[in-house]
Each structure stands twice: as C-alpha cells, then as structure tokens.
Structure 1
C-alpha cells in the first residue's frame, strides 16, 4: 500500500543538484574536486547539506533535498561505493551518444557492500519536518556511465544495478525519505532499450517501496555538450513521445521533465495524464533569472494537460554549474510563480 503524502497544492522542488559552497568545491563546475580532506571533508559536507536546506527553505521550496552536497557527480558517487567496478581501469566511452568521457570499468559482479546515502538522508530528515526528496541514478543512466567488460550485456548490468538501487531505496525510505527520484536522462536517448527493458528495470528498482517514486528525464545540465546537442533537435523536441506511453502504465508515481525554454510541445503531457508530473519551469542552462510571471505562464500551459493536484513545479534539471546567487534567485522565482497560480486557482 502506497503512503500518500499530504502536499500543498503545486508543491515546489528542485530537480537535483544545487551549487556547493566555494570552500567545499570549485564553484560553477561539474565534477569539481573537493577542497577539504579527511574529517574536515566529512564535516564540510554535512555543513553544506545544512546550508543547502536552509537556502531552499529561504526560497520557499516545499519539497526539500540535500542539494546533492555530499556527492561530486549524480551517477559516479553512487557507483564509487559499489564493488565490481575498477576506477583505476578506465576506458573512453560516448556518454548518451553525445560526448566522450573516461569512465571506470565493470570487472566482476557488482554489489553494494553497505548503504551509500542513508546517513546523509538521516541527517537531512533530522533537520526538517518538510517532505524530503532524494535522488538516485537510474539503472540505464548508470550503465551509460561505465565500460562493461564483465556482463557484456547492457540489460543484464542494468538489472543488477536495479536490484542494488532497490536495496538503497528501501533504506532511504526507512530513514524517512518521502520521495525517491531516479535520474534517467538516458531515457531521452535509447528509446528502444527504454521500452524493451529500461522501464522494467526502473520498476525493479522501486519494488516494494511505499514512499512516492519519481523518474527524472531531462535534456541535461547546461554544459556545452548538451547545449550543442539541443541545437540539432530542431524546433520541436518530441523525445518524450517515445517513452511516455509506457511510463504512463508503469508503477512510477511521478514523472519529472523539462519544459521552460525548451522546445518540448507541452501537449505531450497528455500522454501521461493521470500521473503526477514535476514540470520543469526553471531553465538551468543560463544565468537569466526567470520572473515569477514567466514561471506562472509555464505552469498555466502545463495545467491544460495536468490536473492541478498532480502538478509539481520544479527546475528543468540540477543547478550545480550555476552560482549560488543565481540558483537561489531562480528558486525564489519558482516559489513565487507557483504562488501566482495557487492564487488564480483559489479564485476560480
């Protein structure tokens, strides 16, 4: 039986990462190395988590997160804690068919010797009574960030990761996490695999969970490789059309997607009517601060295809590459824009 969280109307949240303090890691950069070491790093990560929570609360965010303050990368930090992956043995692969990267190698059966993020989640839970969301990498995006010389089957490796993610998710739920989100940008690329086994892997990852579950599918951080790719997609981005029909019939509760300043036709949301939808109303690929009215307009358009009680205003993607000031201003705009729509709905 699913646990039903009582949310306010149009509860706001961030899709994922938020900028780290400059004393912890190099600002405005992805995969930035830590500036602290040993116990100082452990303590610094905890302090950064508390600061990130405070900044979300100051911005009026309703569903808060850790801002991914304790991890360098949304995928690799989880994989670092697993056995069967050799980080010294590196190969160059093409990530999401877009850009090349040096990645670790799967050399034997993968497993999870111990919990990865559970202590961090307990710390976050102890700081607030608000609903909290925790992001994990999805199975398909995990396999796309590795070189596999052991399983030699994308499906087989993804299935093993799904079982590991399920172990972690159950412990996060027990720690008090209200929404567990799986980040699957790979769902916007490998459509045949998504429909043949990707969604099934995702359902294995959420098996037995009573908390709410979400899948986040976006067009990526605002880095050059992603923005260059977007320029090749034409005037309409219809990638969601390939996976939404099967996602609608899946056991996932919430679908998180990119809307603002994208070329996604919002009528595609009709393909998942009935699902809860985290509507990306904040562009993370530039430093321009949205006005509350711009946010509200994106939400108004989405409400043509999503029932108000199922619409969760959100950012398009994580905001780690932005400055803290810009990210904070964007979160304030998100909250203010959502309030405009709440007021409009209340007056009907």
Structure 2
C-alpha cells in the first residue's frame, strides 16, 4: 500500500481519491476557553491540573469526532492542547525561557520566547496528543508540528548568535520527537514553516532542516510541508529538492493568482491545496469549492492532490469552520465522481 492509499477509507465509493484533511488548528469550544481562565486564575483553587486535563481530553474527543462527522479522510484534534504554534513547543524545549509578551501589531501581543542556553530534548511534545487522538478516532490522525526554522526565527537568540545554527539544532530535536511519534504509530506528519514565507531567501536552510528531520524515518511516513502566504515563486522550484511527500499552500485567499507558479509541469511533490479561505466567515458553496479544486488539477493529477482549508481555522466561529469543512469534503467527493464518469479531464475542463 502506498503512502497515500493507506489513507483511503475502506468504504470510499469513488475510484478516484482526493485525500481530504485539515491543516491543524480548529476553534476551541467556549467551555474550554473558560476552563483555561479558571486554570490561570490564582484564586480558583478548585480547578486543579486534573480538572484541566479532563477538560482538554473532552475537547480533544469532541473535535476529533466533529472532524470525522464532516467526512474528512484524515483528522486531528484541532490542537486543543495548544495556544500559539511557537510558545507551545518552546515551553517543552530545554534552553528556552519566557520574559514577557512583545507587541506584534495594534493591540496584539506574542509571548516571544528566548533561547538562553543550548537547546535540548527534555520531554515528549505531542505524544499524549497523538495517542489520545488515535484512541478516540476511527480515521487516521495527522500530526502538525511547528518546524525548526520557524521556532528559531520567531524566538530571541541569546545563545547561538546564528539563526541557522539554532535552526539545525532544533531540527535534530524535531527528528527525535518524530521518531517517538512514528514509534507510536504516526504515519502522516505536517511540518509548519510559516516563517519561510517572510524570509524566502533562506529556503536552503529549511531544506537542510528537513533533511535532518526526516533522517531515519520509515519510508511509509508521509511528510508534508505547510507554508502560508508569501511569494511562492521565490521558493519554487527549489522546493522540488525538499525531502517531502506533499507541499501545502494557501491560495484560496488570493484567488489562485499564484497557481501558475507550480503549473510548469515540473512540480514534484504532491500538492495540498487550500480550497476554503480561513480569513472570511463567508461559507463557500460546494460549487465554488469544486472550482477551487479544479485549480489544483492544473498542477497535479488527482492521485497527487490533497484537499484542505487554506490554513488552520481556529479564528473562525466553530459553526462556520464546520460548515466550510463539510462543504469542502462534499465538493471533493463530487469532483471524484465527475472524474470517474469522465465528465471532466485532468485539467478539470468540462468535456
């Protein structure tokens, strides 16, 4: 069974298979946010670590099942244990410390961590999250993890004096974490590197980080790379040299103006295409999403196309996020059926 076919559900009704999944984050239940407030309230002595753990597990179970109910082929728990994509990991990596939030824009703050000594692997980062999700899920579970380049770029460096060196050290730690996850059964890993979009000239550093990350991983582990926004022409065709199975891009928000960057016939990894915009509460119709999926078929054939939202959906109202994903899955199944029937060709033009 190939790395991709292993994710085809046994009851899949179409011959064609467009793998559907999510990028990662999902809106947290309101009660989980209230539970976090109780956890962080020094005067709330009744709400202890056990109560918080129960709340997180309940949320993880609920969102995993919600993903399955939408019909997704590969699910996750919506990152219910995580808040920010850098802070979560920095709290678990030896050598990091926090000295207070920094202003990002307007009234938004980011608790930017500092590397104050050599980084080291101290404890598993995502093992509990993955093992719990797989226990409650009926579908395969995907593991999103912040990449070492972003962990380095979005931190203060008070130890190494070289962002490149720090990124490579962190890549070795990510490799150690993935080795544990793979040993626990994980077979679909997504490396998130949003910082690459802001500093595309560092594509070679990201490539070396990826080489370190995937070293010694079994061949049946699917590795994807997610990069938000940016001018993709500045990192393509260089990404063809990355040791990845799938490249995940955010193009729905830009009306697919950059799709031609990849449509030169030489794009090598599978394409994971964002087909719903996570920056608007407008729910795209099934017909609109079908048209968006067709944009991906101008780059790769259906057996190399993965369907997902543009990015994490955590900032959307929960009902909106669910409706977008439901329509996304329905659209993917419709395009599969049309391909089976010969109603569209592989460039998604009506025949």
| Same fold at TM > 0.5 | yes
* 2:260 paired residue number: 267
For the 8 Å contact 2:87–2:112, the answer to whether it is kept is no
For the 8 Å contact 2:32–2:55, the answer to whether it is kept is yes
Which string of whole-angstrom CA distances, capped at 9 and with x for unpartnered residues, describes residues 201-242 of structure 1?
1221122222110110112xxxxxxxxxxxxxxxxx6x1111
* 1:249 paired residue number: 241
Q: Cα distance 1:138–1:240, how it changes in 2: closer, same or farther (>3 A)?
A: same
Please tell me whether residue 143 in structure 1 is matched to residue 152 in structure 2. Answer: yes
Q: CA RMSD in A?
A: 2.2
Q: Cα distance 1:3–1:304, how it changes in 2: closer, same or farther (>3 A)?
A: closer
2:50 alignment partner, one of 39, 44, 54: 39
For the 8 Å contact 2:240–2:269, the answer to whether it is kept is yes
1:251-330 matches, within 5 Å, as: 251-263=243-255, 264-270=257-263, 273-330=267-324
Q: Which whole-Å CA distance do the structure 2 matches of 1:94 and 1:192 have between them?
A: 23
Please tell me whether residue 17 in structure 1 is matched to residue 9 in structure 2. Answer: no
2:134 alignment partner, one of 112, 125, 130: 125
* 1:226 paired residue number: none
* 1:207 paired residue number: 215
Which string of whole-angstrom CA distances, capped at 9 and with x for unpartnered residues, describes residues 170-195 of structure 1?
11112222211011111111111123
* 2:6 paired residue number: 6
User: Equivalent residue of 1:270, what SS?
Assistant: coil
User: Equivalent residue of 1:286, what SS?
Assistant: coil
* 2:206 paired residue number: 198
User: Equivalent residue of 1:177, what SS?
Assistant: coil
Which string of whole-angstrom CA distances, capped at 9 and with x for unpartnered residues, describes residues 17-66 of structure 1?
0011111116xxxxx95544411111111111111111111111111112
Q: Which whole-Å CA distance do the structure 2 matches of 1:201 and 1:279 have between them?
A: 23
Please tell me whether residue 339 in structure 1 is matched to residue 333 in structure 2. Answer: yes
Give the ranges of 4+ consecutive aligned residues of structure 1 lying more than 6 Å apart after TM superposition.
none
Q: Which whole-Å CA distance do the structure 2 matches of 1:204 and 1:296 have between them?
A: 37
Query: How high is the TM-score relative to the length of structure 2?
Result: 0.86
For the 8 Å contact 1:282–1:330, the answer to whether it is kept is yes
User: Equivalent residue of 1:106, what SS?
Assistant: strand
Q: Which whole-Å CA distance do the structure 2 matches of 1:22 and 1:100 have between them?
A: 21
Q: Bigger radius of gyration, 1 or 2?
A: 2
Query: How high is the TM-score relative to the length of structure 1?
Result: 0.86
Greater alpha carbon shift after TM alignment, 303-312 vs 128-137? 128-137
For the 8 Å contact 2:87–2:111, the answer to whether it is kept is no
Q: Which whole-Å CA distance do the structure 1 matches of 2:118 and 2:194 have between them?
A: 25
Q: Can you give the 5+ residue segments of structure 1 that lack an aligned partner in the other structure?
A: 27-31, 220-236
Greater alpha carbon shift after TM alignment, 307-316 vs 118-127? 118-127
